[in-house]
Amino acid sequence: MSKVGEIILDKVTRKFGAVAAVNAVDQVIEGGSYCCMIGPSGCGKSTLLRMIAGHETPTSGRILIGGKDVTHVRTGERGTALMFQNYALFPHLNLTDNVAFPLKIHGVGAERRDRAREMLARVQLGHMADRMPSQLSGGQQQRVALARALITNPQVLLLDEPLSALDEFLRLRMRVELKRLQNDLGITFIHVTHTQPEAIALADKVIVMDHGLIEQAAHPREIYDRPHSPYVARFMGGQNVVSARVLTVGDEIQAEGAEGGRFAFAPRAALREGQDIRFAVRRDKIRLDQGQARAENAMPGKVINVEYQGTFVKVELATPQAEEFVAHLPESDFFANPFRFGDEVVARWQPQDVCMLVGTNNSAGDALAH
């Protein structure tokens, strides 16, 4: 028997004319998990969310929630609640009546206001129950919208970029609140976002989409540390993508960059001599040395940008590769031996820090993380 709140997407497709916004998606989202869907604008993530909510009907395929086929079930009868990006609070109703409104629609009597106050207390706004939405900050309005979405005890809460309207300080605070609520309630959260750190911080599973397809779906650590393709490595950030050609295959792969440079690492995929490959190296695994010396697992470059990020310093290099190449150096290391614009350097890494990119999607996306 399927777990409460489990979502099964079975070859779900949504076409608008000849364009497939979502294309034959197969995926299981575990009940009681926090799932983030991420990708560039137009990748299909919001369309997929709206199909789960019942606001869009699949062109083909099935959607199951808790083992029940809800593909053609009305929005209010499938056990989901959708929190909109703009919160959509009623300006003429106080917070209690805003939160109680879904219960009023379902014919619940006077007790609905008591239940609404209980829900406001759960989101730490019980003391503001009689205020109007115009008297609240953006973060407080978001909590009211959350309370209203949760008042019907849904199996699944759907969130469409819920933090995008908040400033950075409030966004970080509300991330904590969302995760706390999900842990307390134990229901499935599906959260669409375009912000990579948000997805990594919140999710039990991250679904990375591109052009209507799921490119990779896994725990955030695997997505970040073991990206499937050049697209995922670039889009999720934190990785340098390097192109090379395999020279020899054995206990160790020997490869050469298009503009020179030798690379060696343990085989993690079936490769053949002469094959063009791409691999990724995390930015925080890169170390920089002054000078122009060439060595294995090294890339010569020139410093073209330096940005202090607090706990680390981002150093961007121009290299023989066409790809962007960045090192994240520990703050103490950088300031003990700082690099400046125009410095000739060598970027080095260890063989065990190489991640072979087995997927072929080389899309650049349109929202690269820096």
Model pLDDT for residues 292-327, shown as the tens digit of each residue: 666 789 999 999 999 999 999 999 999 988 889 999
**Residue 54, token pair as written in the block:** 């019942």
From the number of C-beta atoms within 10 Å of its C-beta (0-12, 13-18, 19+), residue 301 rates as: buried
Q: Are 241 and 280 in contact (CB under 8 A)?
A: yes
pLDDT value at 370 more than 50: no
From the number of C-beta atoms within 10 Å of its C-beta (0-12, 13-18, 19+), residue 270 rates as: exposed
7-223 and 226-356 share one CATH topology?
no
Q: Look up tokens 């959708």; give the residue.
A: 82
pLDDT averaged over every residue in the chain: 91
| pLDDT (average), residues 266-295 | 87
* % of the chain beyond a pLDDT of 90: 72
Give the separation between CA 314 and CA 22, rounded to whole angstroms: 36
Architecture of domain 226-356: Beta Barrel (2.40)
pLDDT value at 2 more than 60: no
Give the separation between CA 149 and CA 153, rounded to whole angstroms: 8
> How many other C-beta atoms are found inside a 10 Å radius of the C-beta of residue 173?
13
Give the separation between CA 231 and CA 184, rounded to whole angstroms: 35
pLDDT computed for residue 367 by the predictor: 41
Write out pLDDT tens, residues 5-15: 999 999 999 99
pLDDT value at 130 more than 90: yes
Transcribe 144-209 into DSSP letters. HHHHHHHTT--SEEEEESTTTTS-HHHHHHHHHHHHHHHHHH--EEEEEES-HHHHHHH-SEEEEE
pLDDT value at 40 more than 60: yes
CA atoms within 13 A on the CB side of 140: 15
**Residue 128, token pair as written in the block:** 């503001």
Domain 7-223 carries which CATH code?
A: 3.40.50.300
Q: Is the pTM higher than 0.85?
A: yes
pLDDT computed for residue 365 by the predictor: 63
| pLDDT (average), residues 80-85 | 86
Q: Where in the chain are the domains?
A: 7-223, 226-356
- Work out the pLDDT band at 369, boundaries 50, 70, 90: very low
Write out pLDDT tens, residues 241-255: 999 999 999 888 899
Q: Are strands 276-282 and 298-308 parallel, antiparallel or unpaired?
A: unpaired
pLDDT computed for residue 368 by the predictor: 39
* % of the chain beyond a pLDDT of 70: 97
Transcribe 102-114 into DSSP letters. HHHHTT--THHHH
